[in-house]
Amino acid sequence: MENKEQTIVIRRIKKSGGGHHGGSWKIAFADFALALMAFFLVLWLIESTTELEKMVIAGYFSDPRSLANEGDGGTPYVVDLGGRPLSVANQGLNLALVQEDQEQFVEDSQELENRELIELARLRQIEMLQSLKGQVEEMVAGNNEFEWFNDALEIELTEEGLAIQITDRENRPIFDLGSEQLRPYARQVLWALSDILMDVPNKVSIYGHTDSVPYSAANDDYTNWELSADRANSARRALVEGGMTYGRFSQIIGMGSSLPLMPEAPLDQANRRIVIMVLNEKIDEQVLEETRNAELRGRQPPESALPDQPAPEIF
């Protein structure tokens, strides 16, 4: 009897890395992340568009061919490269709404541009005035003849411009006592200042101040008001002698003793001073406009300010 050997077949199953331990989930997650990013992108676009643009976009998806018809000024694109809606003639929209939206866009753009230009101009003015301040300080420090001027000079950058204040000091008054006549050393300082001020286009205002000592008991017609105005004008003439032109001045004002530098000591000599204000361009325009309105466009006082009864006759 023949021996029959039984054939044994061994099947080996090769297990792959699939299932929940494989990498197929990464593809699904990438698709999900891409869809989520697209969703947020759509939300951002919707938030950044105007109501009119949303209406135009909705009309485009309703009938895209209506925007591409020749002869109606349409386009196959919903918005142009500038991001503004184009023709919507066949969308049933109010053209006045389109015009209003475009005008608002132009106004907003101009307003933003104007604000940026105004801020840039303001920064340039500050930079220029700071440079001017440094030149004046260098002039004083570099001239031995102006050594007395160190204690009498105060320079301050304000909202109105650059204020150059020169005050009386003991044994070093700016003017002769009770007169608008400049002392020779003060005149030389103003000539030197004129050389520096000529290099800037800004207008200049000059203010004259006195102390509270009455000018003269024998002459009531000439007071500290007249004296301060004459001293301010005398400083202007000295600057003109130094080279400044007539049109560079905005205001020449006498303040009398109304604004003392030392309110607690109104008789102190430090209250006798002149202030040369280099105006920034914005303030200069405001000064001219306010003066023009006050002089040429003055209004009648309100009825509430008028007396109820006529003034009595004076015989």
Q: Domain segments of the chain: what residues?
A: 128-296
Question: CATH classification of 128-296, choosing from 1.10.3720.10, 3.40.50.1000, 3.40.640.10, 3.30.1330.60?
Answer: 3.30.1330.60
49 band by pLDDT with thresholds 50, 70 and 90: confident
Report the pLDDT averaged over residues 132-151. 83
Report the pLDDT averaged over residues 191-207. 92
Rg (CA), the chain: 40
Beta strands in the chain (DSSP E): 153-157, 161-167, 204-209, 249-254, 273-279
pLDDT of 98 above 60: no
Can you tell me which residue has the tokens 């938030």? 47
Lowest-confidence segment of 16-20, 58-62, 307-311 by average pLDDT? 16-20
88 band by pLDDT with thresholds 50, 70 and 90: very low
**Of 102, 101, 91, which is closest to residue 58 (Cα–Cα)?**
91
Q: Name the pTM for this structure.
A: 0.58
The mean pLDDT of the chain is 77
Residue 199 CB neighbour total at 10 angstroms: 10
- High-pLDDT (> 70) share of the chain, %: 66
Lowest-confidence segment of 79-93, 216-230, 266-280 by average pLDDT? 79-93
Q: How far is CA 241 from the centre of its chain?
A: 34
